[in-house]
Each structure stands twice: as C-alpha cells, then as structure tokens.
Amino acid sequence: MAENETNANDGKVNLKVAYSQGGSEDEIQFSVKPTTKLGKIFAAFCQRTGQDQSTVRFTFNGDRLDPDDTVKQYEMEDDDQLQAHVSQIGGL
C-alpha cells in the first residue's frame, strides 16, 4: 500500500469480510487502524450478521486468524479480503 493511501484514510485500512449466507456470497467492509485487534472485527461482523462468534472462523490468505493479533501483524492492506466460515451444526 502506498504511504499516501494510508494517510488519506487517517491511517486506517479498509478490509472486506466475505461470507456465504443462504447460498449467496456477500461481504461487509470495515475501516480499521493497523493496530486494531482482529477480535474487534470478528465481534462487529458477528453482531452485524447475527452469528454466534463461537461458530465463526476467520481466515486470511488461507491462514486461520487469531483474535488477539492485529491487522498490522498480517500486513493487511486496503481492500484485502478476510473469509468468514460459519460452522454447520447438525443437518445434511
């Protein structure tokens, strides 16, 4: 990410969280500081989608994310996409 892009957004990074719901793909966008703990993003995502946080797993570039890590630790940049995986309980 270019230095001036970060400064233009007050140092914030725009991230997308992609997920499947009812057979369709959707995404939610977040604007966060590089020092933001990922758990804060996870909680906001679950609140917006009505998911129980204990049933959702998040990945970035195939790696499972730890809620205590920060955006900066994964070198996330503007428009990077995280994946939310909702655990299926029971069913077919």
The tokens for 38 are 């990922």
Encode pLDDT of 45-72 as tens digits: 999 999 999 999 999 999 999 999 999 9
pTM: 0.83
The tokens for 70 are 């920060």
Question: What is the structure's pLDDT at 2?
Answer: 47
d(CA 16, CA 27): 6
Q: Which domains does the chain have, with CATH numbers?
A: 14-86 (3.10.20.90)
Beta bridge partners of 26: 19
Sheet with 24-32, strands from edge to edge, namely: 24-32, 13-21, 80-86, 56-60, 63-64
- Which of residues 53 and 88 earns the better pLDDT score? 53
